[in-house]
């Protein structure tokens, strides 16, 4: 097949760029510890109020400096909708939905996860900077979607 | 062209433009809402809230307009490329009937506020069954039209052994095959999961499995929207700028590349989903990067064709050729401006595709900011450019108000720059998508400037859409017939089809390869998910 020499150079550049992007993605994933949510536990949304852990939503200190947040998303709020923790804590969120699909996005971080009924979303992040951070539902979940929000308060 | 086929294509293109008219006019309401100018009270009682309007905008634009227009364009390129009538015309006409039925059902249920579930309709949110039946009917109808086109091609191939399929037909038919393969996901989702559940035949559904099947179709959908634009950029645009296609074989190779790489990549829409194993997310991220190869090849070939045309007409220097490109022709200007916008869209797409960066912008306004550069401009503005010769060709009338048509392309371009700049920026600041900000329970001072840019963009886009439809309506309604038939601008190639290696026109191996990649990319995980189906969600009406 006739291929123009410039085209060959161009394809070389393309393939190099792809290889670099792949390396960057894999490094970010494994090397720098950016974690994507993966295989998860399933749960029956009808039994949330009767079975642990979701029958007692809240913020729990599980070890010094380590917290677990048990959270339920429902139309149109989060429970709890305020998470208070001291600066320097490592927080694991365990979230599920009681009804439709929701999402959670915490401002200024890459804490960004879908909340799907039947699945438990689990995500861990460290909070070092004191302040108040807004989190919002970022998946359409009905006419109250724009009112579904909460805050993480990191105390000095 | 024979009258039967002309009428058939006219119906598809006409209905597509009707969907675009209604769908797009809602866009500026949304954009102005984002800058806190709430004009929705004007739309009452027709549209009762932001989300109802957004559902109509998404479905009519992204599903109805695109699919109908593409079916019409594919039909056009099949019969004009092969120079023969459509085989199995009855089947194709039935298919169009199904599509019209789907349009009516989906449209009515949305306007009656019975289906405010957005165009992604993620169960367990539950609309009236007629909405899902409508969308399914739209897709099934498009399959039938596709079968009729493929039968036409097969017959032509049998009669013309050893002759290369004309490029406009080849590109469109690769897209038809891509569509048949891609819509298996949503087809299974609708027929096996959603419709029985919406009819209360099954009590509960699996929300995650629904998402997986939706995005099985949802990503290749993007290429289904783009390939007809590429057909136009490769095979028609060079002629419109008085040049030639740079290389026929490379154009074909890139179409095959899109077919094989575009389907097994849907998990990159689900990087943030729980329940999808990380390995699968990375496999799909890898395959997503491979689509970059045919995309960059397309960029090279299209730009090379344009550059040669510009130089032949006396353009000099590094960029001098650009100014020689028939910018006064609205069809050319529409396509060149789409290409320019698409360049930025492509860069954003690479960011979306890399897992870790994706977590910053997933489901923020960045995402609609991105796809208004791709589907709402690269595709839509190119289709608008195509209509500037196709509508005259079909109606046998010259394009009326060409200056207004030209102005619509530039205002669309400028409006989209403001709009998407605002939306991308707002997304980086953490503003969620699908939110009417004027009534949200939260706000941020840093959001106000990008929100204003979004609104300004929306207002300019309203002007653009209005100018476009003025020119199109003026053409359709005018009484003067054109003196001579309106030319179909099909370009010749510099490296001609006769130099194209035969393997680039063997269809079976490529199709088999595409199917194998889909089986590898989705087979194991789908078997696992259907095996452990987690159907725990009854339906919810949340509006
Ligand atoms: C006049 C031009 C347009 C403007 C001003 C506009 C504006 C918007 C805005 C502001 C959003 C809402 C974002 C949100 O709430 O998250 C949106 C969503 C969307 N637009 Fe457009 N749009 C236009 C044209 C188009 C076209 C031509 C298409 C496709 C062919 C399109 C496809 C979509 C889709 C698929 C969505 C997503 C809906 C959803 O999130 O469910 N738009 N548009
Ligand atoms: Cu929500
Ligand atoms: Cu929501």
Residue B230 corresponds to which tokens in the numbers above?
A: 């590429």
As beta bridge partners, residue A95 has: A71, A121
| CB of B424 closer than 8 Å to CB of B366 | yes
Average of per-residue pLDDT across A116-127: 91
Nearest CA to ligand 1 atom 34: B58
pLDDT one-digit tens code per residue, B370-408: 999 999 999 999 999 999 999 999 999 999 999 999 999
CA atoms within 13 A on the CB side of B261: 17
Q: What is the CA radius of gyration of chain A?
A: 20
| CB of A34 closer than 8 Å to CB of A58 | no
Strand, coil or helix: what is B336?
A: helix
| Residue of B372, B388, B437, B468 marked catalytic | B372
| Residue of B57, B211, B219, B393 marked catalytic | B219
pLDDT at A17 > cutoff 90: no
Angle of CA points B125, B127, B129, to nearest 5°:
130
Q: How much of chain B, in percent, has pLDDT values that exceed 90?
A: 74
Active site includes B522? no
Task: Give the predicted TM-score (pTM) of the model.
Answer: 0.95
pLDDT value of residue A32: 47
CB contact set of B406 (below 8 Å; sequence gap of 6+): B328, B329, B330, B333
Tracing tokens 């009236």 back to the chain, one arrives at B128
Nearest CA to ligand 1 atom 3: B27
Residue B481 corresponds to which tokens in the numbers above?
A: 């017939």
CA of B286 to the centre of ligand 1 (A): 28
Active site includes B252? no
pLDDT one-digit tens code per residue, A79-92: 999 999 999 999 99
Chain B interface disruption, residue of A118, A132, A147, most B CBs within 10 A: A118
Residue B374 corresponds to which tokens in the numbers above?
A: 């791709």
Q: With an 8 Å Cβ cutoff, is A103 touching chain B?
A: yes
Cα separation of B179 and B67, whole Å? 10
Highest mean pLDDT among A82-86, B493-497, B518-522: A82-86
Question: Is there a contact between B362 and A112 if contact means CB atoms under 8 Å apart?
Answer: yes
Cα separation of A125 and A110, whole Å? 9
Q: Give whole-number Cα distances, B10 to B4, B102, B387, B514, in Å.
A: 10, 18, 11, 32
Q: With an 8 Å Cβ cutoff, is B51 touching chain A?
A: yes
pLDDT at B355 > cutoff 60: no
Closest by Cβ to A145, choosing from B286, B434, B540 = B434
Q: Strands A121-127 and A89-97, how do they pair? A: antiparallel
| CB of B77 closer than 8 Å to CB of B156 | no
With CA atoms as reference, the chain B residue closest to A118 would be B536
Question: Is there a contact between B543 and A21 if contact means CB atoms under 8 Å apart?
Answer: no
Active site includes B372? yes
B57: left (phi over 0), alpha (psi -120 to 50) or beta: alpha
The nearest CA of chain B is from the CA of A125 a distance in Å of 13
pLDDT at A65 > cutoff 60: yes
Question: Is there a contact between B542 and A143 if contact means CB atoms under 8 Å apart?
Answer: yes
Average of per-residue pLDDT across B520-530: 90
Q: With an 8 Å Cβ cutoff, is A126 touching chain B?
A: no
Q: B292: pLDDT confidence band, cut at 50, 70 and 90?
A: confident
Cα separation of A36 and B277, whole Å? 9
Looking at per-residue pLDDT, the higher value among B162 and B132 belongs to B132
Closest by Cβ to A140, choosing from B250, B364, B434 = B434
Cα separation of B290 and B301, whole Å? 18
Cα separation of A11 and A148, whole Å? 47
Active site includes B434? yes
Mean pLDDT rounded to a whole number for chain B: 92
Q: With an 8 Å Cβ cutoff, is B500 touching chain A?
A: yes
b/e map A64-74, b = 16+ CB within 10 Å: eeebbbbbbbb
Mean pLDDT rounded to a whole number for chain A: 87
What are the strands, taking DSSP E only, across A64-136?
A: 66-74, 77-79, 82-86, 89-97, 102-106, 112-115, 121-127, 131-136
pLDDT at B65 > cutoff 80: yes
Provide the chain A residues 133-152 that lie in CB contact (below 8 A) with chain B: 134, 136-143, 145-149
| CB of B385 closer than 8 Å to CB of B334 | yes
Angle of CA points A89, A92, A97, to nearest 5°:
140
Among B103, B75, B67, residue whose Cα is nearest residue B4: B75
| CB of B309 closer than 8 Å to CB of B322 | no
Tracing tokens 């001291």 back to the chain, one arrives at A86
Q: How much of chain B, in percent, has pLDDT values that exceed 70?
A: 99
| CB of B234 closer than 8 Å to CB of B245 | yes
Question: Is there a contact between B536 and A101 if contact means CB atoms under 8 Å apart?
Answer: no
Q: Nearest ligand to the C-alpha of residue A145? A: 3
Average of per-residue pLDDT across B516-523: 90
Active site includes B284? no
Average of per-residue pLDDT across B86-115: 96
Question: Is there a contact between B540 and A99 if contact means CB atoms under 8 Å apart?
Answer: yes
pLDDT value of residue A35: 63
Angle between helices B89-111 and B66-82 (to 10 degrees): 160
Burial bucket for residue B41 (CB in 10 Å: 0-12, 13-18, 19+): exposed
| CB of A148 closer than 8 Å to CB of A78 | yes
Strand, coil or helix: what is B465?
A: helix
Partners of residue A2 in chain B, C-beta under 8 Å: 247, 249, 495, 499
pLDDT at B216 > cutoff 80: yes
B384 ligand 1 Cβ < 6 A: no
Question: Is there a contact between B542 and A25 if contact means CB atoms under 8 Å apart?
Answer: no
Q: Which of A47-56, B28-37, B139-148, B188-197 has the lowest mean pLDDT?
A: A47-56
| CB of B76 closer than 8 Å to CB of B115 | no
pLDDT value of residue A34: 53
C-alpha dihedral, B472 to B476 to B480 to B486, nearest 10°: 70
Among B459, B490, B495, residue whose Cα is nearest residue B34: B459
| CB of B36 closer than 8 Å to CB of B435 | no
Partners of residue B193 in chain A, C-beta under 8 Å: none
| CB of B491 closer than 8 Å to CB of B243 | yes
Q: How much of chain A, in percent, has pLDDT values that exceed 70?
A: 90
pLDDT value of residue B477: 94
pLDDT one-digit tens code per residue, B93-105: 999 999 999 999 9
Chain B interface disruption, residue of A17, A137, A146, A148, most B CBs within 10 A: A146
Residue B386 corresponds to which tokens in the numbers above?
A: 């195509």
| CB of B172 closer than 8 Å to CB of B74 | yes
Q: Name the residue of B16, B54, B57, B117 whose CB sits within 8 Å of the most ligand 1 atoms, as the mutation to test its pocket.
A: B57
H or E segment at A155? strand A149-155
pLDDT one-digit tens code per residue, B7-59: 999 999 999 999 999 999 999 999 999 999 999 999 988 999 999 999 999 99
Looking at ligand 1, which atom is closest to the CA of residue B457? Answer: 5
The nearest CA of chain A is from the CA of B440 a distance in Å of 5
Residue B106 corresponds to which tokens in the numbers above?
A: 């989906």
In chain B the domains, ranked by start, together with CATH numbers, are 3-531 (1.20.210.10)
Active site includes B371? yes
Cα separation of B210 and A119, whole Å? 13
- Residue A60: how many CB atoms within 10 A of its CB? 12
Looking at ligand 1, which atom is closest to the CA of residue B118? Answer: 41
Question: Is there a contact between B536 and A10 if contact means CB atoms under 8 Å apart?
Answer: no
Average of per-residue pLDDT across B334-353: 84
Average of per-residue pLDDT across B184-201: 96
Among B329, B319, B334, B325, residue whose Cα is nearest residue B413: B334
Q: Nearest ligand to the C-alpha of residue B64? A: 1
Residue B358 corresponds to which tokens in the numbers above?
A: 């994706």
Partners of residue B366 in chain A, C-beta under 8 Å: none
Active site includes B234? no
C-alpha dihedral, B40 to B44 to B47 to B49, nearest 10°: 50
Cα separation of B130 and B105, whole Å? 6
């Amino acid at each position: 097949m006739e291929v123009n020499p410039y085209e060959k150079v161009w394809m070389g550049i393309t393939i190099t760029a792809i290889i670099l992007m792949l390396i960057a993605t894999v490094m970010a994933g494994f090397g720098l510890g950016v974690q994507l949510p993966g295989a998860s536990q399933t749960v029956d949304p009808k039994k949330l109020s009767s079975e642990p852990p979701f029958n007692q939503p809240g913020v729990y200190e599980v070890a010094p400096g380590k917290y677990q947040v048990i959270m339920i998303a429902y139309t149109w709020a989060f429970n709890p909708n305020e998470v208070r923790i001291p600066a320097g804590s490592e927080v694991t969120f365990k979230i599920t939905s009681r009804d439709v699909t929701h999402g959670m996005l915490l401002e200024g971080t890459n804490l960004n996860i879908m909340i799907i009924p039947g699945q438990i979303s689990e995500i861990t992040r460290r909070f070092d900077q004191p302040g108040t951070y807004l989190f919002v539902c970022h998946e359409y979940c009905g006419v109250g979607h724009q009112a579904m929000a909460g805050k993480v308060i990191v105390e000095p | 062209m024979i009258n039967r086929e002309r009428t058939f294509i006219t119906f598809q293109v006409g209905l597509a433009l009707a969907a675009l008219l209604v769908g797009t006019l809602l866009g500026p309401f949304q954009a102005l809402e984002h800058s806190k100018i709430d004009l929705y009270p004007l739309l009452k009682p027709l549209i009762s809230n932001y989300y109802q309007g957004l559902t109509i905008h998404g479905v009519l634009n992204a599903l109805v307009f695109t699919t109908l227009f593409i079916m019409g364009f594919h039909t056009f390129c099949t019969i004009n490329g092969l120079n023969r009538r459509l085989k199995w015309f009855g089947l194709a006409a039935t298919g169009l009937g199904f599509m019209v039925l789907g349009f009516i059902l989906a449209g009515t249920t949305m306007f009656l506020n019975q289906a405010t579930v957005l165009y992604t309709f993620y169960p367990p949110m539950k609309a009236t069954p007629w909405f899902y039946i409508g969308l399914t009917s739209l897709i099934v109808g498009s399959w039938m039209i596709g079968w009729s086109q493929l039968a036409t091609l097969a017959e032509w191939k049998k009669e013309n052994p050893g002759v290369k399929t004309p490029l406009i037909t080849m590109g469109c038919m690769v897209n038809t095959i891509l569509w048949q393969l891609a819509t298996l996901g949503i087809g299974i989702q609708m027929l096996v999961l959603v419709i029985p559940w919406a009819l209360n035949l099954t009590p509960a559904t699996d929300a995650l499995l629904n998402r997986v099947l939706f995005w099985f179709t949802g990503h290749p959908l993007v290429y289904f929207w783009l390939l007809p634009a590429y057909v136009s950029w490769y095979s028609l645009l060079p002629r419109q700028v008085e040049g030639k296609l740079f290389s026929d074989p490379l154009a074909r190779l890139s179409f095959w590349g899109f077919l094989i790489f575009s389907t097994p990549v849907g998990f990159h829409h689900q990087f943030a989903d729980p329940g999808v194993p990380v390995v699968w997310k990375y496999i799909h991220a890898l395959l997503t990067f491979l689509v970059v190869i045919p995309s960059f090849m397309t960029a090279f070939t299209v730009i090379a064709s344009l550059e040669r045309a510009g130089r032949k007409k006396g353009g000099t220097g590094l960029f001098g050729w650009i100014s020689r490109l028939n910018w006064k022709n609205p069809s050319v200007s529409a396509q060149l401006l789409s290409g320019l916008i698409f360049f930025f869209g492509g860069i954003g797409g690479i960011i979306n595709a890399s897992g870790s960066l994706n977590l910053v912008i997933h489901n923020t306004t960045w995402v609609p900011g991105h796809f208004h550069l791709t589907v709402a401009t690269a595709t839509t503005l190119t289709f608008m450019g195509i209509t500037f010769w196709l509508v005259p060709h079909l109606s046998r009338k010259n394009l009326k108000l060409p200056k207004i048509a030209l102005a619509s392309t530039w205002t669309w371009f400028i409006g989209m720059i403001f709009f998407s700049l605002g939306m991308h920026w707002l997304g980086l600041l953490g503003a969620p998508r699908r939110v009417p900000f004027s009534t949200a329970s939260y706000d941020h001072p840093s959001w106000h400037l990008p929100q204003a840019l979004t609104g300004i963009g929306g207002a300019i886009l309203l002007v653009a859409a209005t100018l476009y439809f003025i020119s199109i309506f003026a053409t359709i309604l005018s009484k003067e017939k054109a003196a001579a038939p309106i030319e179909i601008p099909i370009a010749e190639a510099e490296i001609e089809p006769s130099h194209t290696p035969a393997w680039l026109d063997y269809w079976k191996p490529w199709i088999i390869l595409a199917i194998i990649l889909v089986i590898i990319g989705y087979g194991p995980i789908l078997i696992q998910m259907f095996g452990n189906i987690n159907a725990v969600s009854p339906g919810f009406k949340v509006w």
